[in-house]
Chains A and B, each alone.
Chain A
Amino acid sequence: MQRTDLLNRLWEFQNKFGFISDIAVAEIAQELKVSKIEIEGVISFYHFFHRQPTGKYIIYLNNSIVSEFKGFQEVKAAFEFETGCTFGKYGQSQLFSLFETSCIGLSDQECTALINFYPVTHLSTDKVRTIVNQLKIGISPNIIANNVASLVQHIPPQNKSVFFKNYSIGNSLKNLKNKSPQFILDELKKVELAGKGGAFFPTAQKWEISKNATNAEKVVICNADEGEPGTFKDKTIIENLPGLIIEGMILAAYVTGATTGFIYLRAEYKYLQSKLENAIIDFYQHNLLGVNCCEIKHFNFDLQLQIGAGAYVCGAETALIESLEGYRGEPRLRVQYPTENGYLGSSTIVNNVETFAKASRIIEFGSDYILSIGTEKSKGTKIICISGDVAKPGIYEIEWGTTLRELLRLSQATAPYFIQSSGPSGDCLNESDFDRKICKEDLLCGGSLMIFNRTRSILQILENYIKFFLDESCGSCTSCRVGNQILLAKIEKLKKGICTTQDLNEIIEWGTIMKKTSRCGLGQFSSNTFIQSISKFENYFNVIVTSCTDNCNVEFDMENAVFDYDQLIKKT
Chain B
Amino acid sequence: MQNISFYIDGRLCTADKGLNLIEAAKRNGIFIPTLCHFKHLNPLGSCRVCSVNLNGNGIAGCTVFVEEGMNIEVNTPELLDNRKAILEMMFVEGNHFCPSCEKSGDCQMQNLGYETGIRYTRFPHLFVDRLVDARPERIVVNQNRCIKCKRCIEEIVTNDGYKVFNFTNKGKKTTVSIDYEQEAKLTAAQAEYAMQICPTGSILVKGKTFSKPFGNRIFDQGAEGKTVPFNKVNMNITKGRKMRIATTSLAGCFGCHMSLLDIDLGILDIIEVVEFHKSPLTDIKKFTERCDIGLVEGGCCNTDNIEVLREFRKNCDVLVSVGECAIWGGVPAIRNTIPLEECLREAYLDSLTSEGNATVIPNHEDIPKILNKVYSNHEVVKIDYHIPGCPPNANHIWSVVKNILFEEEYSINYPEFKYD
Residues of A within 8 A of B (CB): 34-38, 40-41, 44-45, 311, 313, 328, 330, 333-335, 470-479, 481-486, 489, 506, 510, 513, 515-519, 551-554, 556, 558, 560-566, 568-569, 572
Contacts and interface: CB of A to CB of B under 8 A. Distances in A.
A554 B371 CA distance: 17
B48 A333 contact: no
Contact of A564 (B58, B166, B341): B341
A52 to B, nearest CB: 14
Given A34-B162, A37-B168, A473-B172, A568 B341 contact: yes
Interface string B96-117: 0000000000000000000000
Contacts of A558: 303, 306
B173 interface: yes
Nearest to B147: A478
A321 B46 CA distance: 19
B118 interface: no
Contact of B48 (A517, A551, A563): A517
B63 interface: yes
A335 B42 CA distance: 11
Given A35-B163, A333-B43, A519-B48, A481 B168 contact: no
B170 A44 contact: yes
B306 to A, nearest CB: 6
A36 B85 contact: no
B301 to A, nearest CB: 10
B268 interface: no
Contacts of A485: 93, 126, 172
B372 A475 contact: no
B380 interface: yes
24 contacts: A35-B166, A36-B179, A37-B163, A45-B170, A472-B170, A473-B172, A474-B174, A475-B148, A476-B148, A477-B46, A478-B89, A478-B148, A485-B126, A485-B172, A486-B126, A489-B123, A510-B123, A515-B58, A518-B48, A554-B378, A558-B303, A562-B369, A564-B339, A568-B361
Contact of A45 (B45, B63, B169): B169
A532 to B, nearest CB: 19
Interface of B: 43, 45-49, 51, 58-60, 63, 65, 81-82, 85-86, 89-90, 92-93, 122-124, 126, 147-148, 150, 162-174, 177-179, 181-182, 303, 306, 339-341, 344, 349, 360-361, 363, 369-373, 375, 378-382
Nearest to A329: B170
Nearest to A43: B168
A474 B170 contact: yes
A481 B148 contact: yes
Contacts of A564: 339-341, 372
Contact of B63 (A328, A334, A479, A515): A334
A36 B370 CA distance: 45
Given A333-B60, A561-B373, 18 more contacts: A35-B181, A44-B168, A313-B170, A333-B43, A475-B173, A477-B45, A478-B147, A481-B172, A486-B92, A517-B58, A517-B82, A517-B85, A519-B46, A519-B60, A554-B380, A564-B341, A565-B370, A568-B361
B89 A483 contact: yes
A549 to B, nearest CB: 13
A176 B147 CA distance: 54
Contacts of B341: 564, 568
B46 A553 contact: no
Nearest to A519: B45
A482 B171 contact: no
B382 A486 contact: no
Contacts of B177: 37, 40-41
Which of A35, A333, A471, A510 has the largest count of B CB atoms less than 10 A from its CB?
A35
Given A482-B89, A562-B303, A516 B58 contact: yes
Nearest to B123: A486
A516 B82 contact: yes
A554 B381 contact: yes
Given A333-B63, A554-B380, A482 B92 contact: yes
Given A486-B123, A554-B381, A478 B47 contact: yes
B67 to A, nearest CB: 12
Contacts of B90: 478, 482
Contacts of B65: 335
Given A37-B177, A519-B60, A554-B381, A475 B166 contact: no
Contacts of A473: 170-172, 174
A553 B148 contact: no
Contacts of B47: 477-478
A484 B89 CA distance: 11
A572 B382 CA distance: 36
Query: Which 8 A-B pairs give the minimum distances between C-beta atoms?
Result: A475-B174, A37-B179, A482-B89, A516-B58, A41-B166, A35-B162, A564-B372, A37-B166
Given A478-B48, A482-B92, A37 B171 contact: no
B51 A517 contact: yes
B378 to A, nearest CB: 7
A556 B306 contact: yes
B131 to A, nearest CB: 15
Contacts of B85: 510, 513, 517
Given A473-B170, A485-B126, A562 B378 contact: no
A474 B86 CA distance: 17
A472 B46 contact: no
Contact of A572 (B59, B89, B179, B361): B361
Contact of A38 (B166, B170, B344, B361): B166
B182 A489 contact: no
Contact of A37 (B81, B182, B340, B382): B182
Contacts of B170: 44-45, 311, 313, 328, 471-475
Contact of B382 (A471, A513, A552): A552
A510 B65 CA distance: 28
A509 B82 CA distance: 10
B126 to A, nearest CB: 6
Contacts of A560: 372
Given A517-B51, A562-B303, A565-B340, A506 B166 contact: no
Contacts of A482: 89-90, 92-93, 123, 126
Nearest to B65: A335
Contact of B182 (A35, A517, A519): A35
A335 to B, nearest CB: 6
Contacts of B363: 569
A387 to B, nearest CB: 25
A479 B43 contact: no
Nearest to A474: B170
Greatest chain B CB density within 10 A among A474, A482, A560 is at A482
Contacts of B162: 34-35
A475 B48 contact: no
Nearest to B313: A553
A476 to B, nearest CB: 5
A338 to B, nearest CB: 16
B114 to A, nearest CB: 19
B371 A486 contact: no
A480 to B, nearest CB: 9
Contacts of B173: 475
Contacts of B339: 564
A475 B48 CA distance: 12
Contacts of A335: 43, 63, 65
Given A481-B172, A553-B382, A569-B361, A333 B370 contact: no
A473 B93 CA distance: 15
A231 B124 CA distance: 33
Nearest to A41: B166
Contacts of A553: 381-382
Given A561-B372, A564-B341, A40 B166 contact: yes
Contacts of B122: 506, 510
B158 to A, nearest CB: 8
B126 A38 contact: no
Contact of A562 (B48, B164, B361, B372): B372
A495 B8 CA distance: 44
